[in-house]
Amino acid sequence: MAEHLQVSVARTGFERYRVTTASGAQLEFGRGEGLVQPAEMLMAALAGCMAVCVDKPLTRGGEPERFAFTVDADKLKDSAGPVRLDGLDVTFDLALTEWTRRQDPEVFVERLMDAAHERICAVSRTLEHGAAVAASAQVEITGATVEEPGGS
């Protein structure tokens, strides 16, 4: 069973864009001062997905004092191949004021992280296993066009 998801991205200025989700949520991104770059958004999506996956089962017993995810990655820029991220490393920094479960908290959190990565988090699963990507374009000329010299 598949659920269809869609986001749209519109240009708002030079190297500035706005993503809009189906629910109407929006986020500005791009290149430049104060903007999140697309590769950083991918890393944030991974951290956010993992956070959402562990939040409910972890915090049933109380509110954490500290709950933060960090993602580190290497951006590979090789003249022989495409630019890509590699070696994504997700770190969960957690502090709890109390622990009410019988299980050891470190073992419990490790199991949650494994379950999120291996079964629950769509971003993690997509990155780990890859996904087919198709790209297409629709082009409309709404004004006058200029022919190249020597054109037919």
- At 53-95, the pLDDT tens digits run 999 999 887 789 999 999 999 999 888 778 899 999 999 999 9
Q: How far apart, in whole angstroms, are the C-alpha atoms of residue 113 and residue 121?
A: 10
Please give the pLDDT value at position 88.
97
Q: Which amino acid is at 48?
A: G
Q: Give pTM, 2 decimals.
A: 0.88
- Give the alpha-carbon dihedral of 56, 60, 61, 66, to 10 degrees: 20
Measure Cα distances from 151 to 101, 142, 143, 147 in Å: 76, 21, 19, 6
Domain boundaries, the chain: 1-35, 37-129
What dotted CATH number matches 37-129? 3.30.300.20
